[in-house]
Each structure stands twice: as C-alpha cells, then as structure tokens.
Chain A
C-alpha cells in the first residue's frame, strides 16, 4: 500500500503570506497526485490534479509541483477564504490521502 505523509500537520499564517505544504509518497506515484481543500462541515473540493494542473475555477494563487515521491502545494498570497484543511491524494495505486494540513490564522 502507498502511504502519503503531509507536513506540517498545522500551519499558522497571516493573510498575504506565502504558504507551502509538502506531501511525500512511500513509493513513486509519477504525477498521479491531487490536492483538495476542505472547510468544516463541507465536502472536499479538488484544487489541483496530476500534481500541477489547476482545476477549473481555482484561483491562480494556488500551484502544485513535484513528481515521483515529493510534492508541494503553494499558496502564493494567502487569502481569508483559504483558511481550511488541505489533503493530498495519490491515485497511482488505488487511492490514499495524506493526513491533512490545517491552515489556521496566525
């Protein structure tokens, strides 16, 4: 089974900050990685798929990079609507999510 490890688990930041979240896979997953945003009481929403492709309607301040086993999600300038929990997910072999990174207000 492929394990996904995100860091950090919690991130405190201010509006306007540049934020980076890391996701590591236990084995190579090529570029088969997605990032999701989830707000309390709501379903997850896909932001990025295939490691770096922005889903339709997602603001350009979000970007993804990486391949193989190391991936990053970057928010170039944090906005009030971005305070949420973010999950990575691999879809190279079945589906596995990272444990999540909560982005909270500093």
Chain B
C-alpha cells in the first residue's frame, strides 16, 4: 500500500524548534519530488516547502524562508522538515505529500499523509 506517515508534531513555545518526519512506503521514494503542506485550524491549505528527488533543489514559501529546512534521506525513505524560530502563525496540521500526478515540470499532489499537529504557544 502506498503510504505516507508523519510524526514529530507537538506543543512548542514561540521561538522554539521542532523536527517533523514523514515515512514513505509502497513506492520508490527516490523517484518523486516531495512537499510539505500545512493547514492552520479552520483555515485553508498552504504549500510550505518542496524538495527534488535527490535533494539538490529546495523551494519554500516566503513566510518560512530562513526558518524551515526541508531534507530527505532516500536510503531511509524519509522526508523531514526542520522548523526553527517558530511563531504562533506556524500553528497548523502539517502534511507531507507526494508530487506525483499531472504536469510536466511541476506536479499535483497525489498521495498525502494523515498529518501531524504543531502548536506554537506559551
């Protein structure tokens, strides 16, 4: 079964750090670009970061540049999001997603994890 499973969410104080993980199974992880998408409580979806198949290219939404770092370990079939200098507005469910369908250069997201909640509060 094709699956993505996130972990690492929790409660963190403003200014703190957190590292999210996403374990992939059921497909050849190294063949796909991967993304993180977040959803604040009661709000819409926001793309956060994206990483190339081999990790050589990374892209971020402006609001997290310099604070978040996306990485991957293809040997472990895992995707990561290191988050630093966290703010209240980073509070959200964070999903990992596979860039796997449609498009030519960029793709839509065909597989999603169940999400992990990050709460930034004192």
Residue numbers of A with Cβ under 8 A of B are 1, 32, 34, 36, 38, 42-46, 49-50, 53, 55, 87, 89, 91-100
B contact residues, total (Cβ < 8 Å): 22
- Interface residue B66 (Cβ < 8 Å from any Cβ of A): no
The dominant DSSP class at the A interface is: loop
Evaluate contact between B45 and A44: CB separation under 8 angstroms. Answer: yes
State the 5 A-B residue pairs at the shortest beta-carbon distance, nearest first. Answer: A49-B102, A34-B108, A43-B112, A95-B47, A91-B106
User: CB-CB < 8 A to A93: which residues of B?
Assistant: 106
Evaluate contact between B103 and A43: CB separation under 8 angstroms. Answer: no
Tell me the total A-B contact number using a CB cutoff of 8 A.
68
* A43-B115 contact given A95-B47, A97-B47, CB 8 Å threshold: yes
- What residue in chain A is nearest B100 (Cβ atoms)? A46
Evaluate contact between B101 and A44: CB separation under 8 angstroms. Answer: no
Residue numbers of B with Cβ under 8 A of A are 35, 44-47, 50, 59, 61-62, 95, 101-103, 106-110, 112-115
Complex Cα–Cα for A43 and B45 (A): 10
Evaluate contact between B95 and A46: CB separation under 8 angstroms. Answer: no
Given pairs A43-B114, A55-B101, A89-B109, 15 additional interface contacts (CB within 8 A): A32-B103, A34-B102, A43-B113, A45-B112, A50-B108, A94-B50, A94-B61, A94-B106, A95-B47, A95-B106, A95-B109, A96-B47, A97-B44, A97-B45, A97-B46
